[in-house]
Amino acid sequence: MKKFLVSPSPHFHGRENTRRIMRDVIIALLPAVAVSIVYFGISAIKLVVLGVVTCVLTEFIIEKYMLRRKVTVNDLSATVTGILLALNMPASSPWWAIVIGSVVAIGIAKMTFGGIGQNIFNPALVGRVFLLVSFPVVMTNWSVPHSFLGTSLDAVSGATPLVLVKEALDGGQTVPQIFAANPGLSYSQLLFARIGSAGEVSTVALLLGFVYLLARKVIRPYITFSIWGSAILLSGILWLANPAEFTDPLFNLLTGGMMLGSIFMATDYTTSPMNKWGMIIFGTGIGFLTILIRRFGAYPEGVSFAILIMNATVPLLNKWCKPERFAKEAR
């Protein structure tokens, strides 16, 4: 008689797999990639390609020749890290910066912990912060986005809205004065195109990706919404208390890495909590820390640091915040 397979239930598996999830994240990042290519042209393409190739290659070499185990680059997670790191860099940064950042992201932040699913800190952010503290000049040389292809862009550089405001405040100006002097700070500019890293120039493109991730149930909204909510709350209180010293909540939401960070970086599965309340505490922490760092820290931008700090709390949050159980114990 023909022999049949015997195994315990369940005998079915859903359609979900890691590669499919990562592919969805890549699709969600496409609008932001497209916008950065439109604004920065060849330099944006160069960044993304270099980031992806270096990340994938680093993972491949480490797994194949150092760990001598099955190579997992097919799960596309290194590709996601590469794209995210590229989107976090100034478009004008030199080729070696993204290469070094990618090696650090995959080699140190991810593989030393055991690879996918095991790392404590977000690899792309570790790569970015490593570059920021090692090569501060390169990492803050922002090119001005230009919506017309073919114009030479790399030569033009300027300050990001956050830098501009922080420097002017430190120089003794008040917030309304700064806004009056800089038409580039208008909300329409902030929504569609502003100075910043390759991926954060267009808030609208990032929001499109967010909607896609939610619709595909790749992420849940708790982390992102808590970041926005707490950032609005803290910056709102400060702004209401002293509108001359502090920028308004909407400005804080639309500038820097807030959107890119809250939608794509803080929601990374491995480095964020798994249960609802853990997610809410995690997101709230990021929102508060971001606003505090922006106004009172040494750097004009704090999203990366805020996320990395909160990454460290994830094991504890997973331990403390349990999912809603079906029922109470009878015993």
Tell me how far, at minimum, the Cβ of 113 lies from other proteins, in Å: 11
x-or-dash pattern for other proteins, window 104-133, by CB under 8 A?
----------xxxxx---------------
Determine which residue in the list 140, 141, 174, 275 makes contact with other proteins, applying CB under 8 A: 275
Given the complex with other proteins, which of 60 and 269 has the nearer CB atom? Answer: 269
Q: Please count the other Cβ atoms lying within 10 Å of the Cβ belonging to residue 195.
A: 23
Which residues sit opposite 157 in a β-bridge?
143
Helix (H, G, I), strand (E, B) or coil at 295: helix
Q: Does 84 bind other proteins (CB under 8 A)?
A: no
Least separation in angstroms between CB 112 and other proteins: 15
Contact (CB, 8 A) for 218 and 25: yes
* Residue pointed to by tokens 């956050």: 162
> Which tokens is 253 given?
């939401």
Based on the shown chain and the rule CB under 8 A, indicate whether residue 16 belongs to the binding site for other proteins. Answer: yes
Owner of token pair 């209401």: 240
Q: Per CB under 8 A, does 155 bind other proteins?
A: no
How far apart are alpha carbons 331 and 329 in whole angstroms? 6
Contact set for other proteins, span 47-76 (CB under 8 A): 72, 75
Q: How far is the CB of 76 from other proteins (least distance, A)?
A: 12
Distances (CA, A) of 178 to 38, 70, 168, 258, 300: 29, 55, 7, 21, 15
- Residues contacting other proteins: total by CB under 8 A: 40
**Residue 222, SS3 per DSSP:** helix
> Using CA atoms, how far apart are residues 200 and 198, in angstroms rounded to an integer?
6
Of 195 and 223, CB closest to other proteins: 223
Cβ of 91: how many Cβ atoms within 10 Å? 29
- Binds other proteins by CB under 8 A, chosen from 27, 269, 297, 313: 269
Single out the residue of 68, 148, 188, 329 in contact with other proteins (rule: CB under 8 A).
Answer: 329
Whether the bond into 90 is cis, omega within 30 of 0: no
* Nearest residue (CB) to other proteins, 46 versus 220: 220
Please tell me whether residue 6 binds other proteins under the rule CB under 8 A: yes
Position 18 contacts other proteins (CB under 8 A): yes
- Given the rule CB under 8 A, which residues bind other proteins? 1-2, 4-14, 16-18, 20-21, 72, 75, 77, 114-118, 269-270, 274-275, 322-331
